[in-house]
Amino acid sequence: MKKLKIQLPFPLISVNKISTSYLLFPLLSVPFLLFLIHGTEAANIKNVTETRIGAIIDANSRIGKEQKTALEIAVGNFNFNNSRNQKLSLYFQDPGREPFKAALAAEELIKKKKVEVIVGMDSWVKAALVADVGTQAQIPILSFVSPAMTPPLAAIRWPFLIRMASNGVEQMRCISALVQSYNWRRVVAIYEDGTYGGDSGNLALLSENLQKVGSQIEHSLVLPPFSSLSDPKRFIQEKLRKLIRTGIQSRVFILLKLSPPMTIHLFREAKEMELVGRNTAWILSDSITSYLDSFNHSVISSMEGALGIKENYSEESSSYSKFYAQFREIFLSRYPNEDEFKPGIHALRAYDSIKAIELAMKRTSNRRSEKLLLRNILSINFNGLSGKISFKAGELNQTQSLRIVNVVGKKYKEIDFWLPKSGFSKTPSEGENSGANDGETVKALAGIVIWPGNSLEDPKGWAMPTAEKPMKIGVPVRTSFEEFVEFLSGTRPTGFCIDLFDEVLKSLDYDLPYEFVPHSGSYDDLIFYVSNKTFDAAVGDITILAERMELVEFTQPFAESGLSMIAPAKSDSEWMFMKPFAPEMWVVTVALFIYTMFVVWFLEHRSNPEFRGALKNQISTALWFTFSSLFFAHRERIYSNFTRVVVLVWLFLVFILTSSYTASLSSLLTVKELESNLNIESVRERGSYVGCDNDSFIKNYLKNVLTFKQEQIYILNSSESSYVEEFKNKRIDAAFLEVPYENVFLNKYCKGYASISPTYRFGGFGFAFQKGSPIAADFSRAILNLSENGKLTSLETSLFSSSSECNAANTKIESLSLHSFWGIYAISAATSTLCFLIFLLRLLKNFRHQQEAFRDHATPGRNGTWNKTVGLAKYFYKGEVDIPRSFRSTSTSFRAESLNQRRSSKWDYVSHSDIQEDLPDSSSADKIEML
């Protein structure tokens, strides 16, 4: 068996015998191994691709501390997790608050540190200057800020600038929607002016969006840089006192951009001056809300009740949780004096900027070019810690949703979201929201808001009156109609307007301390004093006009207004007896009268001796009979039953007409309708004088709109009785009064004056308040409620009720029209026509029988059409036919037999009076009387 030899990696060494050669081997091998290791590391270092990143950060600010920590974490994570052939190097520069130092820092980073990309900047001024440097060196610049409004030529001027932040458009839309949802009409904008310009871009954007929702900025409070103030407390106190002294009534404060120390001092001084309390609202932009996490509890308590806007980002992802743990550990160890260690949106954007550079580097591969790096950064698309990151035209393509938070107690709570296309929402996603589409009216916040002063009631956003400082209400003293308002010295004003004001106060759900201040000037001056804040409001018979609405806020009109002319009424007309019936009524009555007369004549003239004789006698008899029937005084005897039916219906019609005529004429004589012979055109063309009140706008309206000449306008400066005196003295021919005044005037002087159309409409009477005052809306709502429940009407009735005599005089009596009587007219006409036709058919039938009886004895010439027509006319008129001579010797027996045959016919049955007509006329032996 062959013996195997096993070779060991290291020779076995005997314990008793050791060779000296084995002792020298380790000493000789150590330097060799060190040489091999050092040479391998040197080779690896030569193969590493290093990307140098410059960061311009204000390391002394809270935001700068967060950004620096986030950048270091992002670079460390990349260098630790990626292969050794790629490496990120980070170089910091701290320019402080000086924008020009930021530009110098960028030049130093590019020239000395050879950076390939620069990130950072906490203001747009710094970002623009650094972008100029980056454009010259063709180095990509990633800015953590964006202007409120993107300059139109930004892409051309700064092609290497990439903005890692959203502009202020959506944030200003959200703030404007908040203002609209709570009906705040005026706001105060506050911002800190930087060394090279403040937040004027956001100010202009806010003003534009507020105008879209019917609000506006009442005052802009601009504060200097905090670092330039030697005594910030005193300076802020003076600014706030000046704001109150100048009469700024809005208590809605919108903070656009303030440094943390300025924010702290502002809230402390505002709270001491009771500007942070009930009926006030404070809205914080994102630049200020981002500081909330760094404020201590005492600062947060001074801001209690404020609403803040924050950019929305998810805190539920695993990547955020990992970053939060790293950030908290490093930030706590490095800045132990900070009160809060939670990263804000600025830290998340800084972290995402390194992520964007990392993705762009991977696409660049072995080719290194700043332009290629820029293109790769602009083309990336990923979900970062701050949200979706993608770029378009050098800025973020995705419009971020916003959070709305409420500062409560020692912290703040999230109450709602703002979605770019949907407005307020309970959910942060567009897909989950079922809110209104973009452009529709926004709704109120879904969450419960605790306002300043620990109040759950929506603030008025206005400096509400107090017992120490009541609301000053101007009341006109020079009024022509005291029924509306009368203000005597030393007494409380009275009148309809004051009573209505008292009723409105009763319906308000809050106390409103006030005091009435007499105003002896014109109404236009009164409106001006309200607009310049001499008065808080004006109560009286104030006409709402378009030009006045530009100065003040009017309530809902409580009285209809318009301009109308009054003039002396004309005397009764000599044709008064014609007025009971309308013209068409008279025409139809006369026509039916003539028609009835004709039918009665036609039915009676053949048999009734009183209707026979000469034609003119027949007509006069028929006319007299019909006319006398109007007074039921007819005496003529009626023979025909058809006539009796016609006359019966006619008399019924006459009874209705005479009764209606008598009643209408009595009303016209009792209630004389007041009318005037004048109209506006005739007064203007004839140059007549017209009167108007000097304390109103009517004078200008007469000149500019109705084109009256200056010399035609007569100014009256006294009470309503002066109008009567001027009319009596013939100084004026007409007067122009507003409709409420006209109603009062005609209620008192109802017998001698009339209103003349047309009426030129205006806005009505209303109370005036300062622009933006929420009290005006509350008064309008109360006036509507009083109108709907009838209290306003009862108030008008009790104050402006007229006498029964004037009520009668003002009642308009209309003439009776055909519309009310067409039925009885139709019945009468139809009855007369029917009787006429039946009688006519009988005559035609009898005429035909007579013609047949004498046809064989008639000569050929007598059968012509003309002779037949003449014979028929004679038969209708006289009731007889001509007997041929050959037939005159006919025996009497034949006629008697013929008569008996006609009497036996049912159709030909007539009354006793009609039978008498069939007997031969004793005065005419050669003619036969026919039925």
824-858 pLDDT, tens per residue?
888 888 888 888 888 888 877 776 776 666 655 55
The mean-pLDDT minimum among 7-11, 190-194, 404-408, 565-569 falls in 7-11
120: its two tokens? 């950072």
DSSP state of 542: E
**Is this model's pTM higher than 0.85 or not?**
no
Amino acid at 58: D
| Interacting residues of 434 by C-beta distance below 8 A, sequence separation 6+ | none
Q: Give the tens place of pLDDT for each residue, 669-714.
A: 665 545 556 778 888 888 888 988 876 788 888 888 888 888 888 8
Distance of CA 6 to the CA centre of its chain: 104
Res 35: pLDDT: 42
Distance CA 327, CA 320 (A): 10
| Interacting residues of 682 by C-beta distance below 8 A, sequence separation 6+ | 688
Among residues 80, 128, 84, the alpha carbon closest in space to that of 102 is found at: 128
pLDDT tier for residue 10 given thresholds of 50, 70 and 90: very low
Res 873: pLDDT: 64
Distance CA 846, CA 599 (A): 19
Res 260: pLDDT: 86
Answer for the pair 924, 841: CB distance below 8 angstroms, yes or no: no
Res 880: pLDDT: 54
Q: What is the mean pLDDT of residues 50-72?
A: 89
Res 725: pLDDT: 86
Distance CA 310, CA 62 (A): 17
DSSP state of 683: H
Strand partners, 250: 462
The answer, yes or no, to whether residue 37 has pLDDT greater than 60, is no
Answer for the pair 488, 763: CB distance below 8 angstroms, yes or no: no
| Interacting residues of 391 by C-beta distance below 8 A, sequence separation 6+ | 162, 377, 378, 379, 380, 397
The answer, yes or no, to whether residue 456 has pLDDT greater than 60, is yes
Res 807: pLDDT: 55
The answer, yes or no, to whether residue 912 has pLDDT greater than 50, is no
The mean-pLDDT minimum among 172-186, 288-302, 561-575 falls in 561-575
Give percent of the chain with pLDDT exceeding 70.
77
- Integer CA distances (angstroms), 362 to 87, 231, 373, in order: 12, 53, 10
Peptide bond into 758 cis (omega under 30): yes
The answer, yes or no, to whether residue 867 has pLDDT greater than 80, is no
Q: What is the mean pLDDT of residues 123-142?
A: 89
Distance CA 599, CA 297 (A): 110
- Measure the CA angle with vertex 714, ends 711 and 719; round to 5°: 170
50: its two tokens? 């290093």
Distance CA 256, CA 205 (A): 11
517: its two tokens? 């201040």
Res 27: pLDDT: 41
Q: What is the mean pLDDT of residues 886-901?
A: 48
Among residues 719, 253, 174, the alpha carbon closest in space to that of 416 is found at: 174
pLDDT tier for residue 497 given thresholds of 50, 70 and 90: very high
Q: Reduced to 3 states, what is the DSSP secondary structure of residue 554?
A: strand
The answer, yes or no, to whether residue 719 has pLDDT greater than 60, is yes
Q: What is the mean pLDDT of residues 271-281?
A: 90
* More confident of the two residues 299 and 37: 299
Answer for the pair 480, 532: CB distance below 8 angstroms, yes or no: no
Domains of the chain listed by start with CATH number: 47-165+317-395 (3.40.50.2300), 169-316+399-425 (3.40.50.2300), 481-546+775-803 (3.40.190.10), 562-572+674-761 (3.40.190.10), 583-665+825-929 (no CATH)
- Other beta carbons within 10 angstroms of residue 330's beta carbon come to 17
| Interacting residues of 822 by C-beta distance below 8 A, sequence separation 6+ | none
The answer, yes or no, to whether residue 25 has pLDDT greater than 70, is no
| E strands in 94-165 | 117-120, 141-143, 161-163
DSSP string, 379-411: T-EEEETTEEEEEETTEESSPPPEEEEEEETTE
Q: What is the mean pLDDT of residues 233-238?
A: 92
Please list, residue by residue across 282-296, b when 16 or more beta carbons sit within 10 angstroms of its beta carbon and e when fewer do. Answer: bbbbbbbbbbbbbbe
DSSP string, 290-312: TTGGGS-HHHHHHTTT-EEEEE-
Count of all residues that appear for the chain in the document: 931
Give the neighbor-by-neighbor strand order of the sheet with 423-425. Answer: 216-223, 186-192, 252-257, 281-284, 307-311, 402-408, 411-419, 423-425
Res 925: pLDDT: 33
Res 875: pLDDT: 62
pLDDT tier for residue 911 given thresholds of 50, 70 and 90: very low
Answer for the pair 458, 451: CB distance below 8 angstroms, yes or no: yes
Distance CA 799, CA 778 (A): 25
Res 914: pLDDT: 43
Res 11: pLDDT: 35
Work out the mean pLDDT of the chain and round it to a whole number: 78
Answer for the pair 726, 732: CB distance below 8 angstroms, yes or no: yes
- Measure the CA angle with vertex 591, ends 589 and 597; round to 5°: 100
Q: Give the tens place of pLDDT for each residue, 351-410.
A: 999 998 888 887 776 666 778 888 888 888 888 888 888 888 888 877 778 889 999 877
